[in-house]
Amino acid sequence: MLSFSADCLILQPMTDEIRLKESYTLAKCCSPSPEDKIVGYFSHDNYLKVHRHDCGNLKKAEPARLVALSWDDILEGASFTPGPDYHKLDATDFAVLQHHLDYGIDYSLMVAKALAIPRQDAFERHKRLKDQGLLKRVEPRIVQYRKGIVDNKWIKHRNHTYYDLTEKGKAYLEYHQIHSG
């Protein structure tokens, strides 16, 4: 996993922690790693606990709760392949997407400020990323109820065009984080 430092736009490698899709979790008893064969146990709290296939605890489990799993099924982003438009994106585009992942709904001037890029550049990137389906425009009437980053005041602006990350944008960002290390 990688993280952006918004100040200098340097990619910093973080730990190689295993990131699973939502509602999957690694069992603590046997801590499987990607070279292990795995089996899922559907727990009573609606999680699929991922065990090594030879974990002793599975012998006690109700067979009806066991699920065949492979790492490709459960790793976040592992089975996703972006379209050809992925290769049009540069490091600043990913920084913009990352900004929306971190802060949610925002508008071009704020993004320009946060990433220290020219306003016009932020406007154009927002438009282009929206046309690519990586960002979506958000209705101002929703935004006006959001508490602002600035001085902790309620945002009342209606003049700005607000953007937020789409599922496609999240997937592209995730893919970038996995494959650019």
Report how many residues bind Zn ion under the rule CB under 5 A: 6
Nearest CB to Zn ion, comparing residues 51 and 125:
51
50 makes contact with Zn ion (CB under 5 A): no
Q: Which residues of 79-107 are buried (b: 16+ CB within 10 A; e: fewer)?
A: eeebeeeeeebeeebbbbbbbbbeeebbb
29 makes contact with Zn ion (CB under 5 A): yes
3-state DSSP: the chain helix, strand, coil percent, rounded to 5?
40, 20, 45
DSSP helix/strand/coil, 68: strand
Nearest CB to Zn ion, comparing residues 31 and 161:
31
57 makes contact with Zn ion (CB under 5 A): yes
Q: Which stretch binds Zn ion (CB under 5 A): 48-56, 85-93, 117-125, 146-154?
A: 48-56
Q: Which stretch binds Zn ion (CB under 5 A): 24-32, 61-69, 102-110, 162-170?
A: 24-32
Phi, psi of 175 (to 5 degrees): -60, -40
27 makes contact with Zn ion (CB under 5 A): yes
* DSSP 8-state secondary structure symbol assigned to residue 76: T
51 makes contact with Zn ion (CB under 5 A): yes
Calpha distance 53→36 (Å, rounded): 8
Nearest CB to Zn ion, comparing residues 25 and 92:
25
Calpha distance 168→176 (Å, rounded): 12
30 makes contact with Zn ion (CB under 5 A): yes
Give contact residues for Zn ion (rule: CB under 5 A): 27, 29-30, 51, 55, 57
